[in-house]
Amino acid sequence: MPQPEGLITKSAAFDQGLFDFFLSKRREPSWITERRRAAFGRFRRLSLPDRSVEEWRRIDLRAFSFDKFAPAFSEMLKSCGPDNVSCEEAVAVSSLVPIRGIVELCPPTAASYLDGSIELSGFFVQVGGVLRRALLRRELNDKGVLLLTLEAAARNKPELVKRYLGKVLSDWDRDKFSAGQEAFWSGGPCFFVPENVRVEAPFYLLVDAGECGVDFSRALIVLARGSRASIWLELRGEAREGPSLSSGKIEVLLEPGARLELVEIQNLSGRVWSFSRQRALLEEHAQLMWLTTTLGSRLAKTDQEVILAGDGAGAEVRGLVCTDGREHVSLHTRQEHESPNTRSNLLCKGTLQGESEFVWRGMIRVWHGALKTDAYQRNDNLLLSPAARARCIPGLEIEADDVKCSHGATVGRVDEDQVFYCTTRGLSREDAVRLIVQGFYSTILDDLPSPVAAGIDAILTERLKLGRAASG
């Protein structure tokens, strides 16, 4: 539901002068510029969402102000002009086997789970809004696979971008954050796989806010009919000492018969305000496996939607959330079944420490005529401290007969019976708790590629202070 318009909010960071300067640095088709102007007008007319709007009811924005990011955003604009972009398109190379070279191009802690034994089809590294490097296997380049910045795609492949950009996420005017992202988006990957091209080795895409402290990147991922690919997308932001802002979009379009494995790793620091909108549209018999991890941030609000628009489409959606301190994470998921014979299965797990809070709102909607729908959603949460809180709000909207839809949710603490069982086998209580917590989220990690699973497990172990338990 669009947010009601409020008074114009004065902002030194995102005023008309800065917007005009931002446009002067762009080299893009006029239709994108006009869309930006419309979005900026909407952004200026809207105030920040308040708790009278249902999806913002449990989110406290009193400490947030766009004014706090004025210096950082200005520096980002200066450093991200077209003349300063080091590489706009992926360079085609014959081999990407020596992966250690990626780590040298990234911040020291990025891509830590990649080693020389991993084979990639391509990679994309953006730091501080600037593309540092993008490489693509030569044979994939020859087949028409694209991996480049969205800006470069808009200039060099304007028909493709005009056809797909905004097709999946068109409601940019729903609130101030959505309008601001549409007006100021900069950077982010454009990934396209042509019809019937099947890529076995994964792609690694890194977006790091760097020192500028502001990230408005936007990702467009399109798989044409019958194609197949796997993407590991990592969002990082921890270098800046002051508050940082991440406001991103991810648009995924799978044409008939396409298959995508998308692993999204959000690993932000506790100083980052994160607002993200993510939507995937699946046409006939398209299949999606989508894992989203939220491993840090001061406040994170993520809207994730999967639209099963074609007969026979299917989606496996997984989520991992880890909070500590006074962090707040709100994850809103939506499974839209528009056509018959579609299937979706969502499982999200949260581990909470300190005084942190996790709110999950899930909705399964079955449209009229979407017969034989099979949909499930579940959220399980493990509270590791007395002050941590988790709220589960599942929902169903069913407008068709002959469907199977259900949901489940749990909130609890470490089971003392399980702890007792482990201690009777020689483990200390501390090691017993570690094993139980690792087992809690291992049901999701076990389904992932081993390098990614190991990397996420290492991050969770560090954040949860879970050293490797003794083997007995």
Q: For 342-374, how does the pLDDT look when each residue is reduced to its tens digit (9 = 90+)?
A: 999 999 999 999 999 999 999 999 999 999 999
Structure tokens at 366: 């079955």
3-state class (DSSP) for residue 10: coil
Has residue 49 been placed in a domain?
A: no
Tell which residue, 341, 289, 290, has the closest CA to residue 313. Answer: 341
Does residue 93 sit in the same domain as residue 165? yes
Q: Which of residues 377, 398, 414 is at a domain's end?
A: 414
Its domain, for residue 204, covers 86-414
Give the DSSP H or E segment for 183.
Answer: helix 176-184
How many structural domains is the chain composed of? 2
List CB contacts of 423: < 8 A, sequence separation 6 or more. Answer: 429, 432
- Give residue 252's region: left, alpha or beta (phi > 0; psi -120 to 50): beta
Has residue 30 been placed in a domain?
A: no
Residue 143 Cα distances to 158, 193, 195, angstroms: 19, 9, 10
Has residue 268 been placed in a domain?
A: yes
Has residue 59 been placed in a domain?
A: no
Exposure pattern of 221-232 as b/e (b: 16+ CB <10 Å)? bbbbbbbbbbbb
Does residue 363 sit in the same domain as residue 349? yes
Has residue 126 been placed in a domain?
A: yes
Q: Which of residues 385, 414, 443 is at a domain's end?
A: 414
Does residue 297 sit in the same domain as residue 423? no
Has residue 18 been placed in a domain?
A: no
Tens place of pLDDT per residue across the chain (472 aa): 454 444 334 445 688 888 888 888 888 899 999 999 999 999 999 999 988 888 899 999 999 988 888 666 766 666 554 444 444 566 666 555 434 444 444 443 344 455 555 788 888 888 877 888 888 888 898 899 999 999 899 988 999 999 999 999 888 988 999 999 999 998 899 999 999 999 998 998 988 877 777 889 999 999 999 999 999 998 887 656 778 899 999 999 999 999 999 999 898 888 899 999 999 999 999 999 999 999 888 999 999 999 999 999 999 999 999 999 999 999 999 999 999 999 999 999 999 999 999 999 999 999 999 999 999 999 999 999 999 999 999 999 999 999 999 999 999 998 889 888 889 988 888 888 888 888 898 889 888 877 788 878 888 888 877 643 333 3
Has residue 363 been placed in a domain?
A: yes
Does residue 324 sit in the same domain as residue 459? no
Does residue 337 sit in the same domain as residue 263? yes
Has residue 13 been placed in a domain?
A: no
Q: Which of residues 375, 398, 414 is at a domain's end?
A: 414
Tell which residue, 285, 336, 344, has the closest CA to residue 311. Answer: 285
Does residue 317 sit in the same domain as residue 168? yes
How confident is the model at residue 116, as a pLDDT? 53
Radius of gyration of the chain (CA): 22
Beta strands in 367-469 (DSSP E): 374-383, 389-398, 404-413
pLDDT digits (tens, 9 = 90+) for 172-196: 988 999 999 999 998 899 999 999 9
Does residue 467 sit in the same domain as residue 330? no
How confident is the model at residue 114, as a pLDDT? 57
Does residue 389 sit in the same domain as residue 462? no
Does residue 330 sit in the same domain as residue 400? yes
How confident is the model at residue 84, as a pLDDT? 41
State the burial class of residue 332 (Cβ atoms within 10 Å of its Cβ: 0-12, 13-18, 19+): middle
How confident is the model at residue 4, as a pLDDT? 46
**Which residues does residue 272 pair with via DSSP β-bridges, in sequence order?**
244
How confident is the model at residue 302, as a pLDDT? 96
How confident is the model at residue 209, as a pLDDT? 77
Residue 67 Cα distances to 6, 64, 422, angstroms: 18, 9, 52
